[in-house]
Structure 1
Amino acid sequence: MPASTLLTTQPLLGPVVGLVSWHFVMEAWMYALRIPAMSKYKVDVSPDKIKDDMANKVPASVHWPAENYNHLMEQPTQFYAIA
């Protein structure tokens, strides 16, 4: 069965593929900003200090993709309830 036929015969498949794709885009964006920022601002990566160091040393613009990613992880609950 061709992919275009599969997406039209399975109406929920398109939104699921879109949500999963957006998940990977946000994850890549988050890591692309955070990993270099951790080196640049000398963030201590020990588990008991990383959260405070990220909040205090790293600019807010680096946190935004992580916040968006966290919100994206909340959305499937609403998505599946609506669908």
Structure 2
Amino acid sequence: MTDSSQRVVHWARTKRLMIITLTIWFIFSFAVHWIADSLNAFSFLGFPLGYYMAAQGSEVIFVILIFWFVRAQQKIDQETGFAEE
């Protein structure tokens, strides 16, 4: 692969990863809080699910999302030849 085609592949895969990550972030930042009242019909660890997701669940998902994003981006970098040594 030429350097130019590697850059195109790298950017396409990175852009796709960003879109997926931002979609997940949006869901847990805004959508879950918008529908929290509906989620309160269910419970998790004795707490209403809407309360739990707004207070704790979103933060847990964000931490997991950060680690997942870093690993996925590192894999993309390695496969396309842009990994740092």
Sort the TM-score into its range (normalised by shorter chain): 0.3 to 0.5
With the length of structure 2 as denominator, give the TM-score of the two structures: 0.47
Greater strand percent: which structure? 2
